[in-house]
Amino acid sequence: MWRLDATLARLQHWDERLCVSVNRGARQQRPVVLLFQAVSWLGNGVFWYALMLALLLADAHAAAGPVLHMAFVGAVCACCYKMVKHSTVRSRPYQVNPLVSADAAVLDRFSFPSGHTLHAIAFSLVACSHYPRLWIVLAPFALLTAVSRVALGLHYPSDVIAGAALGALIACASFAIA
């Protein structure tokens, strides 16, 4: 058991150090912080709702199914995210580490998992399964969303990894159902 504890302690140490490093690195360049703040704000839902609306405006008949698929996945993601977040109650990095600064507003109190990343991955996978050409836009946006959460001091890297994994799992499960 002590090996597991030691391994977990090393992982937590790595997680904290990487969080501090990314946060401090981003804060040295004001344009980088502004970019990440914009991406984070768009990732609150604005980007995904705009995408669904754009798809419907472009071709309502063909886009209805994909948009409903995205909306369903988004609802499942929100439910899972809230359940996990409220059962793990992990504090955000800026709340416990004085070397980490929060550079954006938070939507809720806890850190694990990253809901922004969870939704970015899930929506990207679903949207791109219906519209493969969207990868050129959605892959960079999802990656920037994930990095922004750590750079802005709101999440640890492990929160982002867990969010990405959960989002991918939910999207993949939706393909089996759909």
pLDDT digits (tens, 9 = 90+) for 129-142: 999 999 999 999 99
User: How far apart (Å, rounded) are the C-alpha atoms in residues 149 and 104?
Assistant: 9
* pLDDT single digits (tens) 12-71: 888 889 889 899 888 888 899 999 999 999 999 999 999 999 999 999 899 999 999 999
Percent of the chain whose pLDDT exceeds 90: 66
Banded pLDDT at 101 (limits 50, 70, 90): confident
Q: pLDDT grade, residue 1 (50/70/90)? A: low
Domain 2-177 has CATH 3.30.420.40: no
Phi-psi region of 45 (alpha: psi -120 to 50; beta: other; left: phi over 0): left
C-beta neighbour count of 98 within 10 angstroms: 7
pLDDT band at 175 (very low <50, low <70, confident <90, very high): very high
pLDDT exceeds cutoff 90 at 165? yes
Task: Give the pLDDT confidence score for residue 4 in this predicted structure.
Answer: 66
d(CA 65, CA 56): 10
Q: How far is Cα 64 from Cα 93, in angstroms, rounded to an integer?
A: 40
pLDDT of amino acid 122: 97
Mean pLDDT in the chain? Answer: 91
pLDDT confidence band for 75 (50 / 70 / 90): very high
Token pair listed for 125: 């996978």
The CA distance from 35 to 50, in Å, is: 19
The angle, 0 to 180 degrees and rounded to 10, between the axes of the packed helices 135-151 and 115-130 is: 180
Helix or strand run (H / E) with residue 28: none
Torsion angle defined by CA atoms of residues 13, 113, 92 and 18, in that order, rounded to the nearest 10 degrees: 30
Tell me: cis bond preceding 66? Omega within 30 of 0 counts: no
> pLDDT higher for 122 or 88?
122
Q: Write down the pLDDT at residue 93.
A: 93
Average pLDDT for 134-153 = 96
